[in-house]
Amino acid sequence: AGVGTGGASAPASAAASAAGHDTVGAVALDAQGNVAAATSTGGITAKRAGRVGDSPLVGSGAYADNMAGAVSTTGHGESIMSVCLAHRLVGDMRRAEESERALARPVTELAEESLGYMLERVGGRGGMVAVNRQGDVGHAYTTSRMAWASVRGRANAPVRQSGVNE
């Protein structure tokens, strides 16, 4: 199973997109049960010299743990870093699996709760894509829009889904 995002607050025009302000993220689960996460960013306009964003920081822009799942995030980097957003969701997935309510807690619901926490704590907005170790995929966002896609199943019989949530 795998899922990816094309950016949480995607630009309204092709010119803005060409300027490189989109995040691309991906998460995956392989046939052996290994998970992986990756995040790449186009950056922000007028950033301070020396600023390091959330994308390269493990636990903020992306996080993966074979015991729980994988997450890639996008959005307001300072907010994402403040709450270690990706690590938070992976921890929530691990706790959900360990509890008796595991089947009642879809990945999307957990992602929505993590984003709600970030909005409440630091006023930041973002989006995330995730996969748990059972292969359940989810995505959520609190930005104006987020493009996403997922592929599940075997190479000879994939199940594809995609959308631009607005």
- By annotation, the residues acting in catalysis are 23
The residue with tokens 């170790």 is 133
Q: What is the full DSSP assignment across 90-103?
A: HHHHHHHHHSTTGG
Please tell me the distance from the alpha carbon of residue 8 to that of residue 138, in angstroms, as a whole number.
Answer: 14
- How many CA within 13 A on the CB side of residue 45? 6
- How many CA within 13 A on the CB side of residue 19? 12
Please tell me the distance from the alpha carbon of residue 30 to that of residue 24, in angstroms, as a whole number.
Answer: 20
